Copies of this chain bind each other. A is one copy, B any other.
Amino acid sequence: MSEKLEQLKKNLGEVSDINHAASVLSWDQQVSIPPKGHEARGQQLATLGKLAHERATTDEIGKLIDELKTEFAGADPASDEAAMIRVASRNYDKATRVPSEFVAEQAVVSSKAFEAWGEAREKSDFSIFQPHLEKVVELTKKYVSFFPPADHPYDTLLDDYEPGMKTAEVKEIFDNLRPKQVELIKAISAAKQVDADFLFTKYDEKKMNDFGVDVITKYGYDWSRGRQDKALHPFETTFSVNDVRITTRFEEDNPTAMIFSTLHEAGHGMYEQGVNQSYERTPLESGTSLAVHESQSRMWENLVGRSLPFWEHFYPSFKETFSQQLDGVSVETFYKAINKVEPSLIRVNADEATYNLHVMLRLELEIAMVEGSVAIKDLPEVWNTKMEEYLGITPPNDAKGVLQDVHWSSGLLGYFSTYALGNLISAQLWEKINEDISGLDDQIRNGNFSELLEWLRKNIHQHGQKFEPQTLVEKVTGSRITSEPYVRYLTKKYSQIYGL
């Protein structure tokens, strides 16, 4: 193998190690840290961020990449080597535009903002979070300024999560989708409503947790290479292809949400566990984009986990566990209940028909924050107004409104639209999977997920970052990201449930 490529991999392997170390520190901060440990942790993360950045932007790496581009000019663009050099070059270009000191400052600010967000959410008091968010947005604008002007400043942020995607492109996809989703919701509203009251009684947390663990074990989440803990906000994090962790949470007033959190994060986790082991510590490790990642989590959460075949398999044992709560509830009734469409406050608990509207709201607010057209102090009000406009409901407090998501506290602007794109990709893949696997519903009905996981391993997971998201989606499904399969999926599912 090329000596220069070996040298590049050695250098970037160290960067990967530092970044993974930072991930361990962040995981610990969300799962285990004692209350007064946050300040030092912020400092430690700042130092690791600074170091990783310094190490990723050395002249040596720049020179190696340039030389490797020449050396591999004639190589198959679909080879691992060519992909590695391409991704390394992209990362290097991005990283060299941003000064080390800026990265360190951002880490300190984010750490404090995260802590303030936790307190603000607990007390449902946006004013605690406001000055921190102002600082986060200020730094975000400064970040954008390091890059060449794009069609829209938000493009620069979006591109970090969804390589190559443009704000205008996302808007177009969303503009196509929105009227169809709104139309569907209207039709559902006019139909006979389903009963879901039995979901919102008292359920035992431990038993609920155990059920989720049981399901993802059958899914194929590999516990020898992962674990699940409780956290304020559910997430997946990767320390190596052999250490991929997830978190979940229990909400007293929405107990079954814990299951879907677990299935969702396990979907992310199985993607990470399925990446080619030889990509470890190279630019090709991990999933290729947030939207593709989300397609995996949403598939295992919704297309599998909220399907009738799934519950035909799991419901008997679930009902036995919660015999009191589910007395007289048939599997069909349960299936309809967990798919009840109802405009609601919390994005992560939103049903499939309304979910994307939550995302569209956030995308608009983020664009407004970046443009400066909305003052941070006015966010709660704007949030509530838009919730009323899109979903017809107003949050009773900021904890259930503008403070519900962790993202902004961690400086993650540009991120949200990938959630909706992930939904679209999941349905696009699902159509293809059902062409390729005959009798998938029957397999699911028998609690057999191995052929599905194998398909995903082969077509999506193993590739890591080798293919850019649009390339991968097109390679697998024959078309770039489009909303049509998702609309077909929603229409079919809800027509059956609501007798439309």
A residues with a Cβ closer than 8 A to B are 13-14, 17-18, 20-22, 24-25, 28, 32-37, 39-41, 43-44, 46-48, 50-51, 223-227, 239-243, 245, 280-281
User: Could you list 17 A-B pairs, sorted by A, with CB under 8 Å?
Assistant: A14-B47, A14-B51, A17-B47, A18-B48, A20-B40, A21-B47, A24-B24, A34-B223, A34-B226, A34-B227, A36-B243, A37-B225, A37-B240, A37-B242, A39-B240, A41-B243, A51-B51
B33 touches A243 (CB 8 A): yes
Contacts of A281 in B (CB 8 A): 43
Q: Which 9 A-B pairs rank lowest in CB-CB distance, beginning with the nearest?
A: A40-B240, A37-B243, A17-B47, A36-B242, A17-B44, A36-B225, A35-B224, A36-B224, A14-B47
Contacts of A243 in B (CB 8 A): 33-34, 36-37, 40-41
Contacts A24-B28, A36-B242 aside, 9 further interface pairs with beta carbons under 8 A come to: A18-B48, A18-B51, A20-B44, A21-B22, A21-B48, A28-B28, A34-B224, A34-B227, A36-B224
CA distance A20 to B41 in the complex (A): 9
CA distance A35 to B281 in the complex (A): 19
CA distance A32 to B226 in the complex (A): 10
A interface secondary structure, majority:
helix
CA distance A48 to B17 in the complex (A): 8
Contacts of A245 in B (CB 8 A): 34
Q: How far is the CB of A163 from chain B (nearest CB, A)?
A: 25
CA distance A33 to B243 in the complex (A): 8
Task: Across the interface, name the chain B residue whose C-beta is closest to A32.
Answer: B227
CA distance A223 to B280 in the complex (A): 38
B239 touches A40 (CB 8 A): yes
CA distance A40 to B23 in the complex (A): 13
B44 touches A21 (CB 8 A): yes
Contacts of A224 in B (CB 8 A): 34-36
Task: Across the interface, name the chain B residue whose C-beta is closest to A27.
Answer: B28
Contacts of A43 in B (CB 8 A): 13, 17, 281
Contacts of A20 in B (CB 8 A): 40, 44
CA distance A165 to B308 in the complex (A): 72
A239 touches B41 (CB 8 A): yes
CA distance A13 to B24 in the complex (A): 20
Q: How far is the CB of A198 from chain B (nearest CB, A)?
A: 33
Q: How far is the CB of A11 from chain B (nearest CB, A)?
A: 11
Contacts of A24 in B (CB 8 A): 24-25, 28, 44
Q: How far is the CB of A37 from chain B (nearest CB, A)?
A: 3
CA distance A379 to B398 in the complex (A): 65
CA distance A369 to B227 in the complex (A): 39
Q: How far is the CB of A94 from chain B (nearest CB, A)?
A: 22
